[in-house]
Structure 1
Amino acid sequence: MGGVIDQPAEPDDRTVRDAWLGLVALAIATLVAITTEMAPIGLLPDISDSLGLDESTTGLLVTVYAGVVAVLAVPLTLGTRRLPRRPLLLGTLLAYAVSNVAVCFAPTFAVLAAARAVGGVSHALFFSLSIAYTARLVGPLHVGRAMTVVTLGGTGGFMIGVPLVTSLGNAAGWRWSFAVLAVACVLTAALVLATLPPVGPAPAPRGDDVLRTRRTRLGVVVGTNALTFLGHYTLYTYIAVVLLGAGLSSGAVGPVLFVLSGMGLIGLWLAGPRLDRSPRTATLAVLGSVAVGMVVVGLGYPTLGVVLAGAAVWCGAFGGPVPTVFQTAAIRAHGATADVAGALVNTTSNAGIAGGAALGSWVLGAHGEGALPWVGVVIVAGAVASVVASRSAFPARA
């Protein structure tokens, strides 16, 4: 495994190929983290039936989890900034396992929500660590590609993890899904321990005047990230409800989520290489595609074929490209250490997830599932406007 990786003097030419083993380990860890976070989405109908709740109430499990992350990501990152990075990352994976075991045996909704909150605490640190780790493993000109590799794990969570736990839950009961997830978290911790090299502490940015400008850019990046996640999760949290309302059978929800998540791989393949060459153009193309896909879902509902076509475009643009876009932009803003920049991305992403789940719950209860895509697209349009208005936060060149 070698010694601790410290930030080398410029030029730093470490490529993705040089760091592939650590990046793959981070990608797999990201897969189980995303699967743990999003598992309730495909299982909402089953959990609701089991506990005697309506789906809008059960959807708040996503809000609880994401709300904990949004509140704790920055304080926990600052409070643990002097601790060794790799053991801390291992601790987050084991905490995910504890959370999933507790969910598996939760007798009531209150206990279930508390168990999910434990996972939220872990999540508050995991992505801050993962984003910063990724940036430290390669040179600055290769951050976009490195983020793309690690984000493949997130896309895998949506493409493989969530559909698998959804299908398992439909076949054997939703509690078994979380039991399997707990085992996966423990195995992933062992993999990380065996393969991921340790890294040294991230250097703090210097220069008051320059730093103020950089912090402004970082603020724009993470604010736009929050809007994007808010719009997406207003609709995506209830995607199973929308698909069922459009005539899809319950047994087909898992396979459809698999296909939709697979579209994220296509989106990542198209957008990933451009993040190091034309980040502004790539960002506008990604967010524009999310908005267009949501419009198609809204116009087509409840015609299943049109809804699926729109969802393929929307989820393809979001699932892989969006996290990569904003994680890379936050690191390149140089407004904070990589750990803190990662924490801010994590905070705003989960603020958007929590807010989207809560907003979607209200929209679903008040206006029905057909209104969800229209609320989502209005919010995403605000994110597009933010990118258009800020050339410094989203530059044409890396």
Structure 2
Amino acid sequence: MTRPAVRGGIREAAGGIVALSLATFVAITTELVPIGLLPLISTDLDVTESVAGLLVTAYALMVAALAVPLTLGTRRLPRKGLLLTTLGIYTLSNVLVAVAPTFAVVAAARALGGASHAVFFSVSIGYASRLVRPHLTGRALALVTSGASAGFVLGVPLSTALGAAVGWRASFAVLAGVCAVTTLLIAWLLPPVPGGGAPPADAARSARRAALAVVVTTNALTYLGQYTVYTYVSVLLLAAGLTESALGPALLVLGALGLVGTAFAAARLDHRPRRTTVVMLVAVGGGLLGLGLVFPGLVGVLVATAVWSAGFGGVASVFQSAAIKAHGASPDMTGALVNTTANLGIGGGAAVGALVLAGAGLDAVPFVGAGMILAALVVVLLARRAFPALTDASHSVPTAGQGTQDA
């Protein structure tokens, strides 16, 4: 019988962190792969680009609706086995999309992937926090989140380039194979961890829960602003004069800049969490505002998108870390709430972007997204309890022995 991992430093937890990063890579690629393929999907299945964008919305809404109930329903199952199951479902979802004859079947297959995603990120966020000592939570989450950045850097751009070369269905077929191989690697690399870990029901419980509520609400607002624009980034780049053949390489370079934000967050998040969060949001909001101001000039659009992409690279880890360190619920339930609110933002952003695209027009989309990021930044600046300036090393996430019920 394999013994559960014992919390230690980053080096001791390296195998598990790499495994979770790989799993996050395939998860985020599966979620976002339609973004670069929207023009191809819409043409092949005879739907508008705004309707094709609903593939992102439907997926995200499944996650938002199911993350909390599925996390509660599976809280007694072994964490590693549950994570492997979600990866298997990702594989099946991508296979079904690759062979789907109609848009309706594609949407149904994506909904299946969304149900898996509802469990995956809820579990993986809590999983990462259990691999290391509490004062290293931010760095561990940032390293795991590098898998998401790799999804932007490699997964989405390479899928886009492959789709442009040989068809969008081939992109989903190849992704299904990558998911299957990754599942085997995770089974080998990832150590098991115990479940549970809810914080005690003491006098500070209400304050902790309030702080957690502020963090996850701000998380939703940030993702709403991000995906109002990012869902249609391929449309924006093409409208600015980028050729279809250059779209994949451009997304590759822009996605690589997300690793800059990830590295910045990993280096600073456990020591200066508030300042790190502010810097990330300023970069995202400033990049989106700049994008709106310079559109449709291609050089300006690429520069503004580069700033935006670099900033967003650190966003996931800053909100995950702030939520875990609020100690308002167990790690898995905290992960479920972060997962739910992020995907409310992703799905809502795709829908808002579609409405703006159909109404005010493409050039208005970046301004709407920038406004939402600005609102999130204001909340961070005002909510000092939820986003503290310094990490309090005396606080720690309770272990399984200190509480076993999800809050």
TM-score if structure 1 supplies the norm length?
Answer: 0.97
1: CA distance, partners of 2:285 / 2:47: 32
8 Å CA contact 2:86, 2:120 repeated in 1: yes
Task: Tell me the residue number matched to 1:132.
Answer: 126
Deviation at 1:208, TM superposition (A): 4.1
Q: Deviations over 1:271-313 (max 9, x none)?
A: 3211011100110111011110011100000000001100000
Task: Tell me the residue number matched to 1:118.
Answer: 112
Q: Which residue among 276, 287, 298 is the counterpart of 1:293?
A: 287
Work out whether 1:317 is the aligned partner of 2:303.
Answer: no
Could you tell me which amino acid in structure 2 is paired with residue 35 of structure 1?
A: T
1: CA distance, partners of 2:195 / 2:145: 23
2: CA distance, partners of 1:266 / 1:198: 31
Kindly tell me the number of residue pairs found equivalent between the two proteins. 391
Task: Tell me the residue number matched to 2:405.
Answer: none
Q: Deviations over 1:319-367 (max 9, x none)?
A: x200000010110000000000000000000000000000000101112
Work out whether 1:35 is the aligned partner of 2:39.
Answer: no
Which has the larger displacement, 271-280 or 154-163? Answer: 271-280
Give the alignment of 1:240-279 within 5 angstroms. 240-279=234-273
RMSD (Å), alpha carbons: 1.0
2: CA distance, partners of 1:144 / 1:153: 15
SS in 1 for 2:100: coil
Give the alignment of 1:339-378 within 5 angstroms. 339-378=332-371
8 Å CA contact 1:36, 1:181 repeated in 2: yes
8 Å CA contact 2:53, 2:350 repeated in 1: yes
SS in 2 for 1:367: coil
SS in 1 for 2:25: helix
Deviation at 1:207, TM superposition (A): 2.2
Deviation at 1:269, TM superposition (A): 1.7
Work out whether 1:388 is the aligned partner of 2:377.
Answer: no
SS in 1 for 2:328: coil
Task: Tell me the residue number matched to 2:395.
Answer: none
Identical counterparts, % of pairs: 55
Question: Which runs of 5 or more structure 1 residues have no equivalent in the other structure?
Answer: 7-11
SS in 2 for 1:209: coil
8 Å CA contact 1:66, 1:120 repeated in 2: yes
Which has the larger displacement, 203-212 or 358-367? Answer: 203-212
Q: Deviations over 1:15-74 (max 9, x none)?
A: 111100110011011001000000000000000110111101100000000000000001
Could you tell me which amino acid in structure 2 is paired with residue 104 of structure 1?
A: A
Task: Tell me the residue number matched to 1:4.
Answer: 4
8 Å CA contact 1:144, 1:273 repeated in 2: no
2: CA distance, partners of 1:311 / 1:202: 41
Q: Which residue among 155, 163, 186 is the counterpart of 2:157?
A: 163
8 Å CA contact 1:27, 1:149 repeated in 2: yes
Task: Tell me the residue number matched to 2:394.
Answer: none
Deviation at 1:177, TM superposition (A): 0.5
Deviation at 1:257, TM superposition (A): 0.6
Which has the larger displacement, 274-283 or 198-207? Answer: 198-207
2: CA distance, partners of 1:199 / 1:208: 26
Task: Tell me the residue number matched to 1:379.
Answer: 372
Q: Deviations over 1:230-279 (max 9, x none)?
A: 00000000000000110000111111111111111111222321101110
1: CA distance, partners of 2:184 / 2:262: 28
Task: Tell me the residue number matched to 2:331.
Answer: 338
Work out whether 1:152 is the aligned partner of 2:122.
Answer: no
Deviation at 1:211, TM superposition (A): 1.1
List 4+ stretches of structure 1 deviating above 3 A.
none
Deviation at 1:166, TM superposition (A): 0.6
Could you tell me which amino acid in structure 1 is paired with residue 274 of structure 2?
A: R
2: CA distance, partners of 1:271 / 1:183: 31
8 Å CA contact 2:63, 2:118 repeated in 1: yes
Work out whether 1:62 is the aligned partner of 2:52.
Answer: no
Could you tell me which amino acid in structure 2 is paired with residue 5 of structure 1?
A: A
2: CA distance, partners of 1:2 / 1:265: 34
SS in 2 for 1:240: helix
1: CA distance, partners of 2:203 / 2:173: 51
TM-score if structure 2 supplies the norm length?
Answer: 0.95
Work out whether 1:194 is the aligned partner of 2:184.
Answer: no
Work out whether 1:308 is the aligned partner of 2:302.
Answer: yes
Q: Deviations over 1:352-386 (max 9, x none)?
A: 00000000001011122111000001111110011
Q: Deviations over 1:163-208 (max 9, x none)?
A: 1111111101000000111111111110111111101112211124
Work out whether 1:106 is the aligned partner of 2:103.
Answer: no
